[in-house]
Chain A
Amino acid sequence: MQKPERLPRGAKARETWKQMKESWIAYVLIAPFMICFCIFIVGPVLSATVLSFTSYDSIQPPVFTGLDNFTKMLTKDVVLMKYVIPNTLLFAVVVGPVGYALQFGLAWMINKAPKKLKKPYIMAIYAPSIAGGVLISVVWQVFFSSDRLGYLNDILLNLGFINTPVAWTQDKNWLLPIMMMVTLWSSMGVGFLSLFAGMQNVDEQLYEAGKIDGIQSPLLELFYITIPSMKPQMLFSAVMAIVNALKSGSIGVQLSGQNPTPNYAGQLIQSHIEDYGFARFDLGYATSLSFMLLVVTYILSRVCFRFLGTKEGE
């Protein structure tokens, strides 16, 4: 709940205070959520910001060290520069924009499918995102298993593509592609549904009007009618794509079963943070990495809002 610290002086402040007192019920209603929100979302973000300028090992109280952590990030952390950042960038591009395009394409195709088939397709494509986490350990580990009983090995051995079983999730060339594939597979979640729903909801009359105005090809229709009409849903789903890319950050560790991942091949920023935070207890440095991640996420979201946000008067 919001209450001003000191007594309001100006007339405007007094007016606000009066309004606040009048709408006390609103504050009571938002209180339960806002309290949890502040403790578990705002709190961690703020404390990550503060701790990132300190050296902290979770036993001694944090010591202010200025920009040391950030200098270390740029100059001393070889693993970060050599593996983590390139991996994370590649992963983020594939899971983010490529995944987003994939979602859009699938939603568009389902929208074109006959009415009766829409529901089963939606179910089938959405299902992996429900199953996500559980299946990583149950299915994918077996699928990519290192011996002949692994499915992929079995198929490839039988087809004669390989002669000896490959330890897929331990192999530095394969881990990252596998991570991206598994993440993409399970990324058709809420964002995908939102895109689909947005497309469904485009006013039919717009299409008819478009036809009269000479929009013939489905591609033109897509760019001139569908996309402009569903910008809000596209923005929502872009935000969801960012969240998904962030959420799947430790999938490399889950698949390979070790942190750091073999040869740092699947080391993304999340695993790097956890490695520093929970294994080396260098919490100051770990939170400075978190802080950078938050900043990058925020910038990305601003970019999305800029491109897809509804402008005044639209």
Chain B
Amino acid sequence: MQAKIPLRRKLHLGFRHMLYSLRHTRLSTVIILILLTAVALVSLLPIVYVICNAFKPLEELFVYPPQFFVRNPTMQNFTDFMYATDVSTVPFSRYLFNSVTVTLTTTALTIVFSLCCAYAFSKLRFPGQRALFDLITIALMFSPEAVVITRYLIVNELHIIDTFWAHILPHLALPMGVFLIKQFMDQVPDSLCEAAKIDGANEIRILWSIITPAVLPAVGAVLIIAFQNVWGDITTSNLYTVSESMKALPYFINSLTSGLTASSVARKGATAAAGLLMLLPNFIIFAVLQKSMIETMVTSGIK
């Protein structure tokens, strides 16, 4: 068994090690590290702030001058916003249910649609292929925000206003999904598919049991992007739904903050708690899939 090193000794060793490595790094690296750390801190500050505020008890939210860090953490804010029924007529759980249902469905469908479409573009040959893929590449820079009005008119014409379809269908048109998976798939050697074809596998089978396992990183990246796209989306709730019971979580959080000033503290904690709840899934998914994301981005280039 290893002998236990006392903490002081450990710290001392750690410090010595740090000094040693500092002395042996180039000055430029040190400057880079200082700059990066500064940027990283600025980036994270607002997020730390939300986390702190979410756990602050009422009196700490009120205190002047305002405090950044939380001293006596409490869960009060989380229970508060869940029962904050006075801002809306439907309970919190309904927004949560809508958001979860819509997000899961949309993300799953996006992945399936993108996989099928990317497979056709990457491994099959058909007339119109080149033109259609160029169209998708151009559409990468399409942001729904640019044509918000005609998009609304189309959703209206389809008579899906105030239904789950309005939440799901517009999000499925995600050119990025097809693009990223297709670019990644291009690296998978065609010989794999041909070998399977000789063995008598049909296209669906090749896609499912040979290609999909090979492009899992790209699927992970698309999962992140599709998830974020839907989970945090407020436009759908604002424009495509009418009744309160069809709206999603971001809308609820926004209604908590609307008209909020720092002095109306009653809601400040609840808002932060709700915001944190909103952010958590995003962070967890990204942390888990970070590697796939970077791997996919290597092939993301437009040639």
Chain A residues in the interface with B (C-beta under 8 A): 2, 16, 19-20, 23, 25-27, 29-30, 32-34, 36-37, 39-45, 47-48, 51, 58, 106, 109-110, 112-114, 117, 119-128, 130-135, 137-143, 145-151, 154, 158, 185, 188, 190, 193-194, 196-198, 200-201, 218, 230-236, 239, 242-243, 246-247, 249-250, 257, 270, 273-274, 277-278, 283, 286-287, 290, 293-294, 297-298, 301, 305, 309-310
Contact = CB atoms under 8 A, between A and B. Distances in A.
A301 B138 contact: yes
A250 B300 CA distance: 28
24 contacts: A26-B126, A29-B117, A29-B207, A32-B112, A33-B177, A43-B150, A43-B154, A48-B147, A106-B39, A109-B32, A123-B287, A127-B43, A130-B286, A134-B279, A135-B46, A135-B50, A138-B275, A143-B49, A188-B43, A233-B297, A236-B140, A236-B302, A273-B149, A290-B146
Given A45-B147, A270-B146, 11 more contacts: A26-B120, A27-B120, A120-B40, A122-B290, A133-B250, A139-B49, A143-B49, A145-B262, A198-B297, A233-B301, A247-B145
Given A29-B117, A30-B117, A128 B47 contact: yes
B154 A47 contact: yes
B280 to A, nearest CB: 11
A43 B169 CA distance: 14
B303 interface: yes
Classify chain B's interface size. Answer: 35 or more
Contacts of A247: 143, 145
Nearest to B123: A26
B35 interface: yes
A143 to B, nearest CB: 7
B44 interface: yes
Q: Which 8 A-B pairs have the closest CB atoms?
A: A232-B301, A197-B297, A149-B262, A124-B40, A145-B262, A23-B126, A138-B275, A33-B117
B6 to A, nearest CB: 25
B301 A113 contact: no
A149 B66 contact: yes
A131 B282 contact: yes
Given A19-B127, A25-B124, A287 B149 contact: yes
Contact of A29 (B49, B50, B124): B124
A164 B224 CA distance: 44
B132 A134 contact: no
Nearest to A310: B303
A117 B298 CA distance: 20
A125 B173 contact: no
B120 A290 contact: no
B114 A257 contact: no
Nearest to A56: B153
Interface in B241-276: 250, 253-254, 257-263, 265, 268, 271-272, 274-275
Contacts of B170: 36, 40
A27 B164 CA distance: 27
A125 B301 contact: no
Most interface-central of A112, A123, A137 (chain B CB within 10 A): A137
A130 B147 contact: no
Nearest to B119: A29
B116 A250 contact: no
A150 B35 CA distance: 27
Interface string B122-158: 0011111100100110111111111111110110001
A239 B302 contact: yes
Given A39-B173, A246-B145, A257-B258, A196 B294 contact: yes
Nearest to B147: A44
Nearest to B133: A30
B301 A25 contact: no
